[in-house]
Amino acid sequence: MPSKKILSKKLLLSGVAISVLLALPTAFAQTASNSPAKTSEASVKETAEKWSVNAPQGQFTTANIDVRSGTWMNVDLSPDGKTIVFDLLGDIYTMPASGGEAKALMTDIAWQMQPRFSPDGKYIAFTSDEDGGDNLWVMKADGSDAKAVTTETFRLLNSPAWSPDGNYIVGRKHYTGSRSLGAGEVWMYHKSGGNGVMLTKRPNEQKDLGEPAFSHDGKYVYFSQDATPGKSFHYSKDSEKGIYKIKRLELETGEIKVVVSGKGGAIRPTLSPDGKYLAFISRDDFQSNLYLYNLKSGEQTKIYDGLDRDMQETWAIHGVYPTMAWTPDSDGLVFWSGGKINQLSLESKKAKVIDFHVKTQKKIQTAVRFTQDLDQTTFNTKMLRDVKVSPDGKVAVFESMGLLYIKSLPDGKPKRLTKQQGQFELNPSFSRDGKKIVYVSWDDKSLGQVRVVSSRGGKGKSITSEPGKYVEPSFSPNGKIVVYRKFRGGNITDPTWGLNPGVYVVSAKGGDTKLVTESGVQPHFGARNDLIYVTRDGETPHISRIDLDGQHDTKLYQGKFASEYRVSPNGNYLAFAERFKVFVTPFVERGDVIDIGPKAKNLPVEQLSVRAGEGINWNGKSNELYWSLGADLYQASVKGLFDISTKTSETTADKKADKPVVEAKVINLSYQQKVDIPSGYVAFVGGKVITMEGEQVIENGVVLVEGNKIKAVGTKDQVKIPSDAMIIDITGKTVMPGLIDAHAHGSQGSNEIIPQQNWKNYAGLALGVTTIHDPSNDTTEFFAASEMQKAGKIVAARLFSTGTILYGATIPGYTSHVDSLDDAKFHVERLKAAGAFSVKSYNQPRRNQRQQFIQAARELEMMVVPEGGSLLQHNLTMVVDGHTTLEHSISTANIYDDIKQLWSQSDMAYTPTMGVAYGGISGENYWYDTTNVWEHPRLSKYVPSEFLDPRSMRRPKAPLHHYNHFNVAKVAKEMQDLGVEVNAGGHGQREGLAMHWEMWMMAQGGMTPLQAIRTATISPARSLGLDKDLGSLTVGKLADMIVIDGDITKDIRLSDKVTHTMVNGRLYNADTMNEIGNYDNKREKFYFEEK
C-alpha cells in the first residue's frame, strides 16, 4: 500500500512529469467478429509485442515442485463429471474426478489460472498473461490450440465463466483510476473474440465487483460486489457487518437485484445445473463457510464448516474465493479448502478429499540483488536541488547539504553563495540581469524568510517581515518585485505562522506583502511585470495567469499528465514537463484553455529531453532551456525550433509517435563530500552481546568501536580495551545490531524544506532504528535528507529509499508506464541518478511490464521491491520473475506445499509489514487495543501529542482471533524455517515503535526472540544488499548498534527499552537523544517541547 504521503504536493510538483497511461475505448462492440479484436492503444509500441512473457531476458534456475497440497486452487468439474481441472502455481492440470496423478495442460513461465470447462466439455476457458497481461483465453480440453479471446493491454480481464449455450464467456474487467487496485466490471465476449459487451458498470473507481457466473438457463448473470458505503476502498473492513453482496443481472431487461446479503457477506456465486440452488460463501465470526441458497424459497443453509479464509477484507481482483463446481446432477460440490480438493455430498453433508499429485519444474529467475558499499570516507553528491542557471548561461546556483552553492560553468568549483551557518537555504532564482539571487531560508525555531543576495555572494537581506514557510521565490522582469509561495506547514515543521497560505508578492527591497491568489504553485513571471503564472491541479493540471491585483485569473494551457509549466522570459514559449520528459511549445493566449501535450496537433510541440528532468528554467534570451536530473544539468537550444520549414504538416504528424529530440548538452555538477565519521574509541562492556552471526550470544561481553567501525567483539577476557576508550557499562543489559526497518515511511521534508531536526527521525533513533529503507517517498526530499545524514548535517538513521514509486495507476508525476525494456530502463535510470539503489514496482498492470523492470534493474544493478497489493497470483509471478522482495503480506491466511517449495527455491525475501497486513484487522490495531500507546515513555517524548493521542486513546477492540496478524506471523515463521529471509518493516505506522511491534508479532507467530531479532537486523541487511557493512556485530562492519535494558533473548517485549543508540559510530543517549561518548552535543528542543 502507498505511504500516506503519496498524494502530497508531488501530485503536481515532483518537478518531473509523468508517463501517459494507456487510454482504452469505453465503447463496446455489439457484434462479434471471427477473430480476436485488437483493443490495444495506439501508444503501445511495437517493441512491447516483441517481449515474450514466456521467454524473458534474465538469469534462470529451476525449482522442483512435488506436491499433494496447494494454495488458492481454482477447480472445475467436466459436464460429464469424469474430469477435474485445476490450477496450481500458474499451471493448469486435469485428473480423473476420483483423484490421482495430475496431467499438465500448460506449464510455462506465463501464468495460467481459473480454468472452466465449456458446457459441452470440449473446451476450457482460462485466464492467462501469456500475451503480456491477464486476458481471457480458450483451449481444447486436452490443452491444445490455446487462443486469446480478449487482447486488452490495460483494462485486463480474469474470472471467465461460460454461458449455458457455450457461445459466450463473461469475465471481470479491471479498471483503475488514481488508485492502483481499482474496481471491476462484468463484460461478455463471444467465444471467437470481439471487443465485448459491458454488462455491469462500476459505480466508482475503488470498490470491487467480480466472480461472474451464468444461471442454468442463461437468463441471468450473478456476481459479487463490495457493497460497503462510500466510494473509497478501506482496509480492515468489518466482515461481521457484511462486506460483499451477491447480485443478479437479468440480461433481457438489464435489471440488477440483490440476491444474498447480510451478516458475514456473500461471495463466489455458483449456480446448480438444475437451477434450484445457489452455492456461496459467507462468514460466521471470522470463519468462512459454504452455504446453499434455495432460489425458490430463499432459505439459506450452511453445508460445510471450515473453509480457508476468504478475501473479503482485502482487495480481491482475481476472486474473493477460488472457483468451485457442482456435480452434473446437482447433488454435490467440488471445491478447494485446506490445501486440498474436496467433494461434498449434499445428502450426507459430508466431504471427502480428492487426492492429487503434481510433480513438475518451474523455470524461475534469480532475484535481483546487489551488494552496496557503505564503507566510504567520501561520496559524490547526487541530489542537487533547485538548479538554476544565470541569464547569461555562465553560472549555476543550486542547493546541496542544505546550503546554496554557485559554480562557474562548465568546470568551475562549487563554492558557498552565502557565509551564514545557522539556517538552511533553498529555492534560488536569478534576477533577469543576473546580479541578484532570491532564495528562501529555514530555521526550525525562527522559521523561514525570503532573502535577496548578490549573485557574487555575501550576506544578503530578508525581504519578508514575518516568519513563515516560504518557497519558490522568483523575480519580476524589472527586478523590482518578488513572487513567492507561502504554505501552511505543520507535522514535521512548526504549525505557527501558517495562516493564509497562497501566492504573494513583495518588493525586492522588502516591505508589505500582498496576496495574489490562494491557489497555485511554481509562481513566476513571463515578459510582463504586472502578471504572474502558476501551476494548478484541479481536474486537469494546468497553467493560469493572474494579474498582481488578483484579477483576470485565466486558465491558459492544460495537459492530463503535466507536472510543471514555465513561460519563457520573452513570453513567446511555454516549456512543460510530461511523462518525465521536457517539451516546449509556442505560447499564446486566446481567452480560453488550450490542450497541450507531447502529441498535440493544435500547436507544434518539440521534445527536448531523452532523459528525465525537473526544475525547468530559461536563459535570459529565451533561446536556451535548462533542467536537471540528480547532479546532471541539461541544456538545449530552442532556437529555430518553430521557424517555417519545408516539412509538411503530414510529415510532422507522422513523426509525432517517435520524433527525434533536440540534442541536449550535459554538465555534471556533482562534487565530493566527506562522510561524517567520528573519532575515538567506545567500548560497551559487561552485558550480553547478540552478534546475529547465527545464534551466537556472548555473555559478559565487549563490543569495541573505533571511529565508525567495530574493532573487536568477544568476552571481557578476550578483548583488550584501550585506555582512552569511553566505557559504557552494559551490565544487566543487551547490546545488539541496530534495527533495520526494511519498509519504512515518513516525511523527510515539507514542500522541499528539510527540517534541521525532524522529530520523526529522532523518534526512530530513540527506539533503536538505525537504518530505514523507504519504498515510497518523495524523491528529491528523501535523497536530499539522505545525503545530509551521511555528511552529518542532520541527525537521522541511515536513509535509503526507492524514491517515488513506479506507479501503475493514473497520477501526474507518479505514473510510470512501460511498453518496452527501454521504457523500463528510462525509469530505473532516473531514480538511480537521484540516489536510489532500489525501485518500487507498484501494481504495474501487465506481467511483461513487471518483467521489463526486472531486466532493466538487472542491467543497471538495481533492486526491485514490488508492492504486494494483496494480489496472490501476481505475488507468485514476482517470485518466478526474480523480484528482490515482496512488500506486504500474502493475502491468504495459510500457505501450502506449492508456495513453500517454490519460494524456498527462489532468492526473493519477504517483508510482510504485519502492522498493515491484508485480510483482517491490521496488526497495529492489536497494539492500540491491548497497550496504552499514548503513555509510552519514549514515544510520547518524541511524537507530538496532537498526532499520538487521537490515534491511540480511543481504540477499537475485537476478539483475539479476529486479529489477522497472527496468521501472517505464522506464515512468516514457516517461511523463515524454509530459509526465506523474512524482514520486519514498520510501514511508518508509529514512529520507531512499529518496528518493535513487528518483532513482537513475529514472536506471536512462533519465532524465538533471536529469530524475531533476525527479521529486524541481518535479514533485511541481506535482503537489501547491506550485509557487507550492516546487520550484525562483526569486526570490520560499521558501528550501528543499540543497548537494551534487560535480557531480550528471554523476553522479546523488552526490545523497546532502548538506553543507547549508535549509528555510524556516533553514540546517543536514547532517552534524551543527546550525543554522548566522545562528544557532548545536546539536541535542540522541538517546537512542541517549547509550548
CB 534 within 8 A of CB 521: yes
Average pLDDT over residues 701-714: 98
Q: Residue 813 pLDDT > 60, yes or no?
A: yes
Q: What is the pLDDT of residue 287?
A: 95
pLDDT tens digits for range 275-286: 999 999 999 999
Cα dihedral value 971, 850, 10, 234, nearest 10: -40
Residue pLDDT, tens place only, 443-480 = 999 999 999 999 999 999 999 999 999 999 999 999 99
Task: Indicate if the pLDDT at residue 1079 is higher than 90.
Answer: yes
Q: Is the pLDDT of residue 219 over 60?
A: yes
Report the sign of the C-alpha dihedral through residues 542, 543, 548, 551, in that order.
negative
Q: Is the pLDDT of residue 439 over 90?
A: yes
481: which 3 cell numbers?
518585485
pLDDT band at 774 (very low <50, low <70, confident <90, very high): very high
pLDDT at 715: 97
Q: Which domains does the chain have, with CATH numbers?
A: 73-343 (2.120.10.30), 527-629+632-668 (no CATH), 679-738+1032-1091 (2.30.40.10)
Segment 73-97 mean pLDDT: 98
- State mean pLDDT over 567-582: 94
CA distance 598 to 601: 9
Calculate what percentage of the chain has a pLDDT beyond 70.
94
Tell me the average pLDDT across 866-872: 92
Residue 31 has pLDDT above 60, yes or no: no
Confidence tier at 257 by pLDDT (50, 70, 90): very high
Instruction: Evaluate if residue 650 carries a pLDDT over 80.
Output: no
Q: Is the pLDDT of residue 99 over 90?
A: yes
Q: Do the beta carbons of residue 713 and residue 703 sit within 8 Å? A: yes
Grid coordinates representing 639 are: 532556437
Could you give the 3-state DSSP secondary structure of residue 854? helix
CB count in 10 Å sphere of residue 632: 20
Q: What is the pLDDT of residue 178?
A: 67
User: pLDDT tens across 303-330, in order?
Assistant: 999 999 999 998 899 999 999 999 999 9
Q: Is the pTM of this model over 0.75?
A: yes
Is a pLDDT exceeding 80 seen at residue 759?
Answer: yes
The percent helix, strand, coil of the chain (3-state, each to 5) is: 15, 35, 50
Between 618 and 815, name the one with better pLDDT: 618
User: Residue 897's CB: how many other CB atoms inside 10 A?
Assistant: 16
Q: Residue 180: what pLDDT?
A: 66
- Report d(CA 834, CA 614) in Å as an integer: 11
pLDDT higher than threshold 70 for residue 42 = no
Q: Distance between CA 1072 and CA 1056 in Å, rounded?
A: 15
Residue 553 has pLDDT above 80, yes or no: yes
State pLDDT tens for residues 4-29: 333 234 434 333 222 222 222 222 22
Residues 722 and 816: their CA atoms lie apart, in Å, by 55
Per DSSP, 636 falls in state E
pLDDT for the residue 1091: 61
Instruction: Give the distance from CA 565 to its chain's centroid.
Output: 26
pLDDT band at 158 (very low <50, low <70, confident <90, very high): very high
| For range 35-64, the mean pLDDT | 66
Closest CA to 810 of 121, 156, 19: 19
In percent, the amount of the chain with pLDDT more than 90 equals: 86
Give the whole-angstrom CA distance, residue 694 versus residue 1031.
12
Average of per-residue pLDDT across 1081-1086: 96
Q: Encode 133-175 in three state secondary structure.
A: CCEEEEEECCCCCCEECCCCCCCCEEEEEECCCCCEEEEEEEE
| Residue 105 to residue 91: CA distance in whole angstroms | 8
pLDDT at 816: 84
Residue 247 is given by DSSP the state E
Residue 659 has pLDDT above 60, yes or no: no
Query: What separation, in Å, do the N-terminal and C-terminal C-alpha atoms of the chain show?
Result: 35
Task: Return the minimum-mean-pLDDT range out of 109-113, 314-318, 664-668, 757-761.
Answer: 314-318
Query: What is the pLDDT, as a whole number, of residue 803?
Result: 95
Q: Quick one: which of 670, 687, 873, 916 has its CA closest to 2?
A: 916
CB atoms near residue 140 (< 10 Å): 14
Which pLDDT belongs to residue 1069? Answer: 98
Distance, CA of 757 to CA of 115 (rounded, Å)? 57
DSSP 421-449: -SSEEEEEEE-TTSSEEEEEEEETTTEEE
- pLDDT tens digits, one per residue of 354-373: 999 999 999 999 999 999 99
pLDDT at 211: 97
Q: Please determine, for residue 292, whether its predicted confidence score (pLDDT) is greater than 80.
A: yes
The per-residue pLDDT of the chain, averaged, comes to 92
Confidence check: pLDDT of 719 > 70: yes
Instruction: Respond yes or no on whether the N-terminal peptide bond of residue 269 is cis (omega within 30° of 0).
Output: no
Query: Per residue in 959-970, pLDDT tens?
Result: 999 999 999 999
14 grid coordinates = 515532483
Q: Has residue 660 got a pLDDT over 70?
A: no
Position 35 scores a pLDDT of 31
